[in-house]
Structure 1
């Protein structure tokens, strides 16, 4: 797990594909002529609050180990932190295949989780207060793929995840005025950024008609209502050691 400053200063050795994906991410968030819609991500990146990991193949097991480390340390990284996960680019798949890959990954992560589901979160997806939870931490997750060609805010050269702890939004969106202002700003930046129209599933956390899971993986402009893809079942107690093998102090 690395900081942007470590990567940009050459303090870590990256493979070529890792350098290319990070360079693409860097250019996207620094673009002043075409500002990226997520203002929280842009501000967090400018302040070196984001953390990055690279995987040839993202699996629940290898992601879980880094995610445990992130969950235990993210409050020391800064109030607008995110964990960005890159997978080595491969043959481009369909939107539906990436969607299945994403939700299967979350299902598998949940099965590996050694901590109970947060008591403050409902387990039913069809609830405006639902959020994915891992290691006791509620989190908002965004998936980007190379198959997104019309919804460019969700496009990446490879399969990519951005994981934001709900804690990040506690102060930023804790009043109706703050939430409305932030939502308005993101919407204004989103409209000229994407070819596709703004998804009707984008909404504010806690609103009666909003469902967080519908925002995690957006389609490429079809805006179809999809059935619940995440099935949280009774989990057998996991004996998998999720402690990072080589924990790095950042």
Structure 2
């Protein structure tokens, strides 16, 4: 299987300056490297600076291709560094509603679960409404972040097209291994969020495993704190066969 995800230095050599890939990546780089307006996710900023992130450009938006690349990324991720993530870019399209992007994200995760060739990890609950639930693929628990062009107030979740970030759970375990380290990291993220977003930090943000928290609610944050963020599934891939083909164009 051909590896399609790239290192930072490979993007320019693979895509001309006028391409949507180059434009989207330039926007992302500006966001990650700004000193005047530091991006809230300190883990992502560090990963970008140290060239530990990997970048996948999908056109069309084919979940089967995404699944193949995500499985390969998971198998290699520990060699990329302790702050790695897979950043998935899609071609800019006419802007849809937040709810449409919300449904697109969850449909993607459900389809990935259907395509997954590995069993669900035995230590991760399959029911989504559980404090220890985490999206998992290729045997690896993964934190997911969705950003969209429909976000206005919450600029930390805004991008010029539908984007997904897949961050292995072990990244957080290494960084937040002690209570002191976790407190410092979350305090820094919150300090950056307050001036970055027009909306106040979401009350849904919290620590994985907290009895009063749900990890899935953090994958897609709405533009204000009044919107509820339920999930359309009680369990992903309730029927793994047959997988759903989705070659929908990215929005």
TM-score, structure 2 length as denominator?
0.90
Q: Is the 8 A contact 2:40 2:196 kept in 1?
A: yes
Is structure 2 residue 232 aligned with structure 1 residue 229?
A: yes
SS in structure 1 of the partner of residue 13 of structure 2: coil
Work out which of the residue numbers 137, 140, 148 in structure 2 matches 1:137. Answer: 140
Q: Deviations over 1:156-212 (max 9, x none)?
A: 000001110001111211222211111111000000000111111011111111110
Residue aligning to 2:10: 6
Name the residue aligned to 1:244.
none
What's the secondary structure of 2:75's corresponding residue?
Answer: helix
Per-residue deviation, residues 116-175 of structure 1 (Å, max 9, x unmatched) = 001111112221111000110100000000000110000000000111000111121122
Aligned residues: 238
Pair 208,54 (structure 1): closer, same or farther in 2 beyond 3 Å: same
Cα RMSD over matched residues?
A: 1.7
**TM superposition shift of 1:13:** 3.1
Structure 1 distance, partners of 2:137, 2:189, is 27
Match of 2:202 in 1: 199
Match of 2:77 among 70, 74, 78: 74
Which residue in 2 is equivalent to 1:183? 186
Where do 5+ consecutive residues of structure 2 fail to align? 245-251
1:60 touches 1:106 (CA, 8 Å); kept in 2? no
Q: What is the distance in 2 between the residues matched to 1:188 and 1:75?
A: 29
Conserved 8 A contact 1:59-1:105: no
- 1:116-195 aligned within 5 A: 116-195=119-198
Taking the TM superposition and a 5 Å limit, the aligned residue runs for 1:50-69 are 50-69=53-72
